[in-house]
Amino acid sequence: MHLEGGLMVRALKILIFGLFSGPILAELIGFISPFVMLRDEELGYQFQDSAYYIGAFSSVFFSIALLFAAFNTSKVSYKIGSSVIALLYIMSSYYVFLDSESLMETIIYDLNYLCGVASLTLGAFIALNCFKNTTHSVYKHA
């Protein structure tokens, strides 16, 4: 890593916040909505709709967090990969504005999902690289 560990730890904290602010929150709301629907059907449908929009627009927050973490590493492949994935992830989040029955919406939604999985995977590799380098430097100085 070309930056000190403190800045990389901060970048990883932002990445984890981006993860919790979007994908995990949307999945949690989607999981809770059927139980809410048992008590109040209208409120349950509102929960499902909010999970749909949170899941789509969380790509912006998570992509920014991923880019921040990637640009605090020394690996160029992480920087290029995260830039491409973040751009596709944000651009594909407009599926919420398309007709829900259309083929285009299905394709864009699937692209958004794949970009989300790729972002999570790349984020895990960035975190693993950070911890590997931190552990290596601790043993080197011991």
d(CA 1, CA 128): 12
Decide if pLDDT at 112 tops 70: yes
Could you read off the pLDDT of 51-67 as tens digits, one per residue?
Answer: 777 777 788 888 888 88
Q: Is the separation of the CB atoms in 46 and 36 below 8 Å?
A: no
Res. 2 pLDDT band, cuts 50 70 90: very low
Mean of the pLDDT values across residues 57-83? Answer: 87
How open is the CA angle 49-55-58, to the nearest 5 degrees? 130
Mean of the pLDDT values across residues 22-26? Answer: 72
Full-model pTM: 0.73
Q: What is the distance of C-alpha 126 from the center of its chain?
A: 13
Helices (H) and strands (E) in the chain — how many of each?
5, 0
Q: Give me the sign of the Cα torsion angle 97, 105, 59, 85.
A: negative
Could you read off the pLDDT of 123-138 as tens digits, one per residue?
Answer: 888 888 877 776 655 5
In one-letter notation, the amino acid at residue 6 is G
